[in-house]
């Protein structure tokens, strides 16, 4: 059994940006790659059934069912430039990133300690999950094409904004219900104070991960600078 300072842990849920992966990879590689290709991609994608569904999601998001295709694409670009965590944008970004991974335009960054511990926890049969604002498809792509190889076999499931905002406690309650694990036995690792506060409010155990460039956290939080410092033991 996995224990956090003597308390049983039924599963670990990981954030990605700033936790397992350098924020710079996402902001300086993935986001610009998708933004540069978004208009051309949508020109081919929009006529498909899946593309029409994304356009309808954009219209629903802005509250205008008559928004033209051009206006929808412009809205996607505006969200991308503003780094908005909006579900239809995340879906399109994930599809564009898929092309980039298949073309070997880049490989996902992973911190050495994160890669090592993810693989070790998997070896010891600790249930691992991802909760990220990126789409589930994009999450799977990221971990399938890392500088450390394919880590997707290490994870039992993924959650994204379709579960709810990472800043709302109800999202973490939903995840606990989906997993069938009591909140007090779920551990969430993230670099975002608001996410940690929401998970804590939902009754989860939390630990802040402070990577280079991450602001200081409140003294009331457990804080580690890499996964080796987590107060986890096996009984």
Tokens for 225? 């600078």
pLDDT tens for residues 62-111? Answer: 999 999 999 999 999 999 999 998 999 999 999 999 999 999 999 999 99
Superfamily of domain 2-21+108-234: HAD superfamily/HAD-like (3.40.50.1000)
Does the 26-102 domain belong in CATH 1.10.720.60?
Answer: yes
pLDDT at 215: 80
pLDDT at 127: 99
pLDDT tens for residues 164-173? Answer: 999 999 999 9
E-strand ranges in 29-168 read 128-131, 157-159
pLDDT tens for residues 78-91? Answer: 999 999 989 999 99
pLDDT tens for residues 113-132? Answer: 999 999 999 999 999 999 99
- Give one word for 118, left, alpha or beta, with left for phi > 0 and alpha for psi -120 to 50: alpha
Tokens for 169? 């406690």
With 0.75 as the threshold, say if the pTM is over it: yes
Helix or strand or coil: residue 218?
coil
* Dihedral in degrees, nearest 10, Cα atoms 18, 192, 217, 115: -30
- H/E segment holding residue 189: strand 186-190
pLDDT at 162: 92
| Pairing status of strand 205-209 against strand 186-190 | parallel
**DSSP summary character for residue 215:** P
Question: In which residue are the tokens 């898929």 written?
Answer: 98
Burial class (CB in 10 A: 0-12, 13-18, 19+), 11: buried
Phi then psi dihedrals of residue 210, to 5 deg: -105, 100
In whole angstroms, give the CA distance from residue 172 to residue 20.
19
Residue 76: C-alpha distances to residues 59, 91, 192 (Å): 11, 11, 25
Cα–Cα nearest to 163, from 189, 192, 199: 199
Q: Is the pLDDT of residue 233 over 90?
A: yes
In whole angstroms, give the CA distance from residue 135 to residue 178.
18
Q: Please report, rounded to a whole number, the percentage of residues in the chain having pLDDT higher than 70.
A: 100
pLDDT at 85: 86
Give every CB contact of residue 125 below 8 A, 6+ residues apart in sequence: none
pLDDT at 3: 96
Where are the domains positioned within the chain? 2-21+108-234, 26-102
In whole angstroms, give the CA distance from residue 109 to residue 98.
15
Q: Please report, rounded to a whole number, the percentage of residues in the chain having pLDDT higher than 90.
A: 91
Question: In which residue are the tokens 């081919």 written?
Answer: 44
Tokens for 34? 């998708």
């Amino acid at each position: 059994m996995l224990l956090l300072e003597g308390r049983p842990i039924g599963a670990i849920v990981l954030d990605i940006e700033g936790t397992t992966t350098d924020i710079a990879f996402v902001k300086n590689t993935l986001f610009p790659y998708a933004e540069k290709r978004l208009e051309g991609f949508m020109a081919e994608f929009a006529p498909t059934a899946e593309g029409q569904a994304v356009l309808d999601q954009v219209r629903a998001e802005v509250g205008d069912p008559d928004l033209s295709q051009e206006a929808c694409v412009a809205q996607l670009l505006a969200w991308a430039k503003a780094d908005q965590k909006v579900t239809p944008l995340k879906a399109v970004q994930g599809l564009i990133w898929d092309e980039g991974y298949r073309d070997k335009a880049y490989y996902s960054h992973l911190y050495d300690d994160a890669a090592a511990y993810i693989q070790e926890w998997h070896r010891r049969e600790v249930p691992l999950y991802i909760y990220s604002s990126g789409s589930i498809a994009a999450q799977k792509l990221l971990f399938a094409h890392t500088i450390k190889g394919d880590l997707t076999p290490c994870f039992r499931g993924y959650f994204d904004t379709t579960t709810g905002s990472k800043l709302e406690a109800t999202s973490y309650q939903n995840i606990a219900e989906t997993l069938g694990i009591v909140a007090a036995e779920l551990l969430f690792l993230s670099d975002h104070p608001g996410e940690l506060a929401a998970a804590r409010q939902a009754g989860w155990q939390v630990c802040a991960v402070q990577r280079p460039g991450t602001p200081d956290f409140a003294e009331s939080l457990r804080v580690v600078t890499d996964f080796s410092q987590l107060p986890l033991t096996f009984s």
